[in-house]
Chain A
Amino acid sequence: MKILIVDDELSNRMILSAILKKEGYSVVSAVNGQEAIEVFQREEPDLVLMDIMMPVMDGYEATQKIKALSQEKFTPIIFLTAMTDDQALRRCVDVGGDDFLSKPYNKVIIKAKIDALERMSQLYNTVYKQKRELVAHQEHESKEQEVARKVFDSILNPGCLSAENIKLHLSPISLFNGDVVLAAVKPTGGLHVLFGDFTGHGLAASLGALPLSDVFYSMTAKGYSIHDVVREINRKLKHQLPTGMFLAACLVEIDTINNILKYWNGAIPAAWLHKGNSVVELKSRHLPLGILDDSSFSDKVDIIKINDNDKVILSTDGILEAENSSGEMFGVERFTNCLQVNMNNTDSADKDSKIDLFEHILDTLDNFIQGQEQSDDVTLGVISCDMAYINQLASQRGSYKKFVPTHWEFELLFYYDCIKTIDPVPLINQIMGEIQGHQIQQDKLSTVLTELFCNALDHGLLGLDSSIKSSPEGFMQFYTDKEERLNKLDSGSIKISVKNIPNNTGGDLFIIFEDSGQGFDVSSLEKTQTDKESPLFSGRGLSLIKNYCQSVSFNDTGNRVECIYSWSNS
């Protein structure tokens, strides 16, 4: 520990210096206040012993300057004084002195005071250090939030929030308060809007927005209605979010074909439809999303007839809970009161004199809170049901590719080792989806493809006998055999080809599965064709395939089957 002695009297400095050195401190000295500042800056002592009355610059001034220089680090200053004058003592404290020491010096007292102040400076310096770390940490966190916000922005905003019929009040960091707003047009026309409020605050509350927007945008793009979208969101959030985290949400669909508003509201307290001469509450009839299992979840939507001039008002609870300086909340009553504007004033001639509903709500709220700091963000949206405009939006969306049925064909060849690990059905579906959009209904087709692949593998390559599956023991035996033979399989292949011949409403898929196996006696199949209980071909799903396909035919050796499957995009 280094100590600076400031005294103009050489004898005083000598005595103090001797005492301090004997205690193991290193000592530097200055003969007046001016020199003390210089030495302080150069030597950075841990403690200063300061005389008061000195030429050039006295101890008061030097103390003030030294304290100003060492704001980041606590350096105790002890005044050397005879302690006779109360005013002088007061002044020592006022300029930043931490303690006093009187002459003649007593080495025990000096040591005790230095020890006490050293403890104090350790405490102070620890606090300073922690404070610096805290500040650095806060800066780091706000930078991270900024980055996260940009990432979220690009993920959450492929939709049409900026459309002219949507007016939105949304703080840039509202996402970190759990608020989320999504909007997208359907490929067939119509608009989906979601107002959501995740439980909690901060980054954790915003994370749920990722699966949410994923489901919302992809399902809307595929043309699903909100009851399907809301069910899938609930399923996904229930599965992915931790217990206790959920999403209060209101989904609305402006259906421009039937001029109706469909809505599903789970715990959003402020949702209304302004119909010119009346206001209809879009009541919450459901629990928030992410709580119920799919089996107990209700996707029931409510339906209201709408006109072009109607407006949907949506808000998270931030606006209802906005407080004024006396702690009063804005509340539902004030909110609904301010929706009473423009009543009985639906004449288009009066359009210019109408008060803008969105601005009116925000102005009313501003007047109420009077600049009071709010704990939650105010998120408000007013969506006009201008149906012609919404339809125009849908046609503008280049992102929805128009798929028309086209000519194409592809062939896949899987060898024995690949067959052990791959399921070709999703792969085929994916290829067709890329080429033809999702116009080909995949549930029946997937069944057909799965059966065809099983037949080619089980009977063609593995030579299994399905007939043994008719008894429970045989059933188990079949699958034990299958596993064993599949493991041992060291040659062979299955070739799959799919060709589309398009027509006006869809097309015919020519599906061929050809395996390298022994085949079977096709004539015996033809003989038993009318007998569906034939043990020879049971379990091959042939009747299922025949039900779904226009035709099914085998080659003579029985290792190649061709089916024609018709599809339509309507």
Chain B
Amino acid sequence: MSDNSIDLTTLNELKEIMGDDFSELVTVFISDSHIQLDDLKAAIAASDAEMIRRIAHTIKGSSANLGIDHLSAICKELELKAADNNIDSADELLNSIVNEYNDVKIALEKLI
């Protein structure tokens, strides 16, 4: 996990806003993202550029909301490539996304 994986300012602000619901939010994010990653794997296996773009877009947005900036950035890269129908390096990016997700998951679970 890199240093810029999680923007702690955003996350702390969110913790303050959400209060008791914060742990639920983190749980929801972890499980939803997990499902989306499975979908993303399937879309890449099927070379479905449009589906890849949509899922990358969704993870990009939801991770940005929680201040998970690095994951959001890789997803954005994949989204843009998929939009250009350029999915040759999708497997590579998928690996980075999965690795980053796993790191973030561990870090987040420590917070709740």
Contacts and interface: CB of A to CB of B under 8 A. Distances in A.
A402 interface: no
Interface in B1-44: 10, 13-14, 17-19, 21, 24-25, 28-29, 32
Most buried by B among A11, A82, A105, A107: A11
B17 A53 contact: no
Chain B residues touching A, majority SS: helix
A12 B61 contact: yes
Nearest to B14: A15
A14 B62 contact: no
Most buried by A among B13, B19, B28, B65: B65
B17 A19 contact: yes
A78 to B, nearest CB: 15
A18 interface: yes
Contacts of B18: 14-15, 18
Interface residues of A, number: 17
Interface in A1-54: 8-12, 14-15, 18-19, 22, 53
B98 interface: no
Contacts of A12: 61-62, 65
B70 interface: no
Given A53-B54, A53-B57, A53-B58, A15 B32 contact: no
Contacts of B94: none
A107 to B, nearest CB: 7
Interface in A76-115: 82, 84, 103-105, 107
A2 to B, nearest CB: 20
Contacts of B32: 9-11
Nearest to B29: A11
Contact of A15 (B25, B60, B76): B25
Contacts of A22: 17
A103 B76 CA distance: 13
Contacts of A82: 57, 60-61, 64, 76
Given A82-B60, A103-B61, A10 B17 contact: no
A425 to B, nearest CB: 96
Contacts of A19: 17
Interface string B66-93: 1100000000100000000000000000
Contacts of B65: 11-12, 15, 103-105
